[in-house]
Amino acid sequence: MIKKAALAMLYCCFTCCIAHAQSSVEKQLVESVNQQLSQSQALLIEAVNINSGTQNFAGVKQVGMLFKQQYDALGFTTEWLDGSEFERAGHLVATYESATHPSAAKIMLIGHLDTVFAKDDSFQHATIINQNTIAGPGITDMKGGNVIMLAALQVLHQHGLLSAMNIKVVLTGDEEASGRPLAQSKQALIDAGIWADIALGFEDADGDINTAVTARRGSVAWTLTTTGQAAHSSQIFTEKVGFGANFELARILNAFREQLSDIPLLSFNPGVMAGGTRLKETAASTFESFGKSNVVAQTAMVKGGLRAVSPNQLTETKEKMQAIVAQHLPQTDASLVFDDGYPPMQQTQGNVDLLGMYSQVSTDLGFAKVNAVNPRNAGAADISFVSDHVTMAIDGLGLMGTGGHTKDETADMTSFAQNIQKTTVLLYRLSTQQQ
């Protein structure tokens, strides 16, 4: 990994050498982006028209092969990593390592091939609404981002500049619904993060082209199970019978709310719960329960999610939740289990500096300054598995729009051209400063 001092010098070059802005090379790069824009848009529509819902393995791989063909044409070494071991389609990894500049910064570009729209969903194809607006499943989340990073690399290759770069692209096939175990399904991301110095994610973030992500909250699932003494309800609260499973569940959830809800950037949500004399989980987060109003509940369960902004906050919150759980009401018991999940993308100075570089590119190209997204508005994403391994990382550089994860998903195509230009120039500047 390149030294932090070298990255600090790089940041100074970006922030101090304003004369670097809009060099003749950069003007040519922008012109080339604009010239190939219709070609890039056509590829985007082709990708959107292939259903690649996470569970449609054939469709996810078909989109992967579409992009593999494009990266092969640029001279990348490409590999399709089969996902059968973690019950997903797989991932595409494309690597370009410079023969002439081996010490250039190693830059990782992150996208994903899958969408939330199932194979039989009625929302299947792209629709051009007007010159600046296209609707389609996964167009912003995140096939638009996939095309943006590819288009930037195509322009750099066209100008003979790619040869001075070290680039690794990882397009995962399970971002919307991760395969299990995570240690296997996210291994390609982690390996690439260990290889890289800098990571750029091309999600659509909060849909605002004037923002990018320097920090994301992690997302962890949890299951709380409580038990009590089954008995006639007339004996509830007695020394022998106690309070029952439902009151123990209510005590714990209320204590979570009272003690944790005011912690900045922390959130937790009990998404589904059930309780009674008998309780059975018939499918993921689907319960079958039986109970009577005159019988003290014997068992209860709640499944929820936890989002924290840093590893420390996550660890401390888990400890506080376990301490609350341990304070049982009479004649009850409880257990709290946390599943594997997405780690936080913690705010670092390197991330802030990289955002400053990206913002400088934006203003140099005549666009607005780019500010950091409030982590409260940025969900978990694949870059979270990478951020601890690199010195600099930002996300949210993709295609902007509205209605993500719904049948109203619509792209603002003015952001398509802008973000291809910004990505192209950012990669060029990173490469020229690291030789």
pLDDT of residue 433: 73
Instruction: Collapse the DSSP code of 254 into the 3-class scheme (helix H, G, I; strand E, B; otherwise coil) and give the result.
Output: helix
In tens, the pLDDT along 324-361 reads 999 999 999 999 999 989 999 999 999 999 999 999 99
Instruction: State both tokens at 173.
Output: 């096939």
HSE-CB at 313 with a 13 A cutoff on CA atoms is: 22
Instruction: Collapse the DSSP code of 54 into the 3-class scheme (helix H, G, I; strand E, B; otherwise coil) and give the result.
Output: coil
**Beta-sheet pairing, 392-394 with 278-283:** unpaired
| Count of positions (residues) in the chain | 435
CA distances to 232, 235, 253 from 246, in Å: 14, 15, 11
As a whole number, the mean pLDDT across the chain is 94
Instruction: State both tokens at 65.
Output: 């092969």
DSSP 216: B
**Cβ-based neighbours of 87, under 8 Å, separated by 6 or more:** 179, 180
- Tokens 């009590």 appear where? 228
pLDDT of residue 23: 86
pLDDT of residue 11: 56
Residue 355 burial (10 A CB sphere; 0-12, 13-18, 19+): buried
- Where does the pLDDT of residue 432 fall: very low under 50, low under 70, confident under 90, or very high at 90 and above? confident
- Where does the pLDDT of residue 50 fall: very low under 50, low under 70, confident under 90, or very high at 90 and above? very high
Please tell me whether the peptide bond between 165 and the residue prior to it is cis, using omega within 30 degrees of 0: no
In tens, the pLDDT along 52-93 reads 999 999 999 999 999 999 999 999 999 999 999 999 999 999
pLDDT of residue 205: 85
Instruction: State both tokens at 308.
Output: 């924290």
Centre a 10 Å sphere on the Cβ of residue 312 and count the other Cβ atoms it contains. 11
Instruction: Judge whether residue 16 has pLDDT over 80.
Output: no
Share of the chain above pLDDT 70, in %: 94
In tens, the pLDDT along 98-112 reads 999 999 999 999 999
Instruction: State both tokens at 231.
Output: 């008995």
**What sign has the CA pseudo-torsion 42, 48, 49, 52?**
positive
- Where does the pLDDT of residue 18 fall: very low under 50, low under 70, confident under 90, or very high at 90 and above? very low
For helices 413-433 and 24-35, the axis angle rounded to 10 degrees is 140
pLDDT of residue 285: 84
Give the residue among 39, 71, 84, 58 at the shortest CA–CA distance from 170: 71
Confidence (pTM) = 0.90
Residue type, 67: F
Instruction: Collapse the DSSP code of 72 into the 3-class scheme (helix H, G, I; strand E, B; otherwise coil) and give the result.
Output: helix
Residue 49 burial (10 A CB sphere; 0-12, 13-18, 19+): middle
Instruction: Judge whether residue 123 has pLDDT over 70.
Output: yes
Q: Between vectors from CA 208 to CA 202 and to CA 213, what angle results, nearest 5°?
A: 50
pLDDT of residue 19: 45
Q: Between vectors from CA 322 to CA 318 and to CA 327, what angle results, nearest 5°?
A: 155
pLDDT of residue 5: 52
Q: Are 92 and 78 in contact (CB under 8 A)?
A: yes
In tens, the pLDDT along 173-215 reads 999 999 999 999 999 999 999 999 999 999 998 899 999 999 9
**Cβ-based neighbours of 120, under 8 Å, separated by 6 or more:** none
Q: Are 407 and 140 in contact (CB under 8 A)?
A: no
CA distances to 33, 72, 77, 132 from 36, in Å: 5, 18, 24, 16
pLDDT of residue 434: 47
CA distance 76 to 190: 20
Residue type, 278: R
**What sign has the CA pseudo-torsion 173, 175, 177, 180?**
positive
Largest Cα separation within the chain, whole Å, is: 85
pLDDT of residue 379: 81
- Where does the pLDDT of residue 380 fall: very low under 50, low under 70, confident under 90, or very high at 90 and above? confident
Instruction: State both tokens at 433.
Output: 């400063």
In tens, the pLDDT along 265-316 reads 999 999 999 999 999 999 888 999 999 999 999 999 999 999 999 999 999 9
pLDDT of residue 283: 87
For helices 349-364 and 4-16, the axis angle rounded to 10 degrees is 30
